[in-house]
Amino acid sequence: MQDRSARRRSRTAAAVLAAVSLLGTAVLTGCDSGREGTTKGAAAQPSARPGPVWDREPGSVAAVGDSITRGFDACSVLADCPEVSWATGTDSEVRSLAVRLLGASGASTRSWNHAQTGARIAQLPEQMAAAAKEKPDLVTVMIGANDACRDSARYMTPVADFRSSFEASMRQLRAGAPKAQVYVSSVPDLKRLWSTGRGNALGKQIWKLGICRSMLGDADDMGAPATARRASVQDRVVAYNKVLREVCAKDLRCRYDGGAVFDFPFTGKQLSQWDWFHPGRDGQARLAEIAYRNVTAARPPA
């Protein structure tokens, strides 16, 4: 009897010890899994979404976009001037984003400008595919002004099409450069540019040649139809910026400028002396400052 009781006590103690050991293992496993953002054995609980991934010191830069990024009309009339580009230029007065990040020699060898004057969002996927081939650490995007600047407001790119093209552009980039960071500039405030430039008589004469007729046409007309036309262009630009922000927010390696370019109060000093619409050297320098501040910030713009 004593032997059987002893054996029963021994088996009971062993079972208790095993249960305690198993419980301890489960607790430790749960703690370890919690550090990874999920708990083993708790499939019903959703895992925490990882935070944004952002390197504040990228080692190479590729740029996509339109005439602003090509430095159009910044150096001479009706000509690209990529050396003063806010994104990848080498001009010492502008001090582009690439120069500020990589130094002058680095900007010459480790930055690429795939932007095209006149480009609209529909051309962006092709530019992104070209940029992806460079395997850049950072891609800058400035696009959308030409989608709103049409001969007539009714020809502006529909917002749904704008979204579809930007989403396709991001897919193109991720297919070729999955770890590249993307910095997205907001579309400039075209109505502010109209308000600023219309004070210059020479600028208004140049506008009559056909620059952004949807906004700049009949610059001094303050009648109801002209005012409504400009308001519709302004609303479309705001909608484009909303698309850029929303699509960018879905990508962990994308950072939107928070509307910084749209909000910047461009004056005649920042505008091209050739068309009073595109940024001149000083305007390009201001764009570079905005980009550098946002790319190197610890947190994305609000």
Domain ranges of the chain: 1-35, 61-295
Buried b (16+ CB within 10 A) or exposed e, 49-78: eeeeebeeebebbbbbbbbbbbbbbbbeee
For position 53, what pLDDT does the model report?
80
Instruction: Specify whether the CB–CB gap between 236 and 156 falls below 8 A.
Output: yes
Q: How does pLDDT run across 127-138, given as a tens digit for each residue?
A: 999 999 999 999
What is the per-residue pLDDT for 52?
61
**What is the pLDDT confidence band of residue 203, given thresholds at 50, 70 and 90?**
confident
Q: Which of 23-37, 231-245, 252-266 has the lowest mean pLDDT?
A: 23-37
Residue 123's pLDDT is what? 98
Assigned token pair, 70: 């090509």
Q: For residue 184, list its beta bridge partners.
A: 141, 256
pLDDT in tens, 46-73: 444 555 689 999 999 999 999 999 999 9
200 falls in which pLDDT band (50, 70, 90)? confident
Instruction: List the CATH code of the domain at 61-295.
Output: 3.40.50.1110
- Strands 181-184 vs 111-113: parallel, antiparallel or unpaired: unpaired
Average pLDDT over residues 205-227: 95
Confidence at 289, pLDDT banded by 50, 70, 90: very high
Query: In Å, how far are 187, 200, 230 from 206, measured between CA atoms?
Result: 22, 10, 18
What ranges make up the beta strands (E) of the chain?
A: 61-65, 111-113, 138-142, 181-184, 254-256
Does 40 score more than 50 pLDDT? Answer: no
User: How confident is the model over 141-167, as a mean pLDDT?
Assistant: 98
Using 50, 70 and 90 to split pLDDT, how confident is the model at 27?
very low
Residue 10 has pLDDT above 70, yes or no: no
Average pLDDT over residues 166-179: 98
Beta bridge partner(s), residue 225: none
Averaged confidence pLDDT in the chain: 87
Residue 53 or residue 288, greater confidence: 288
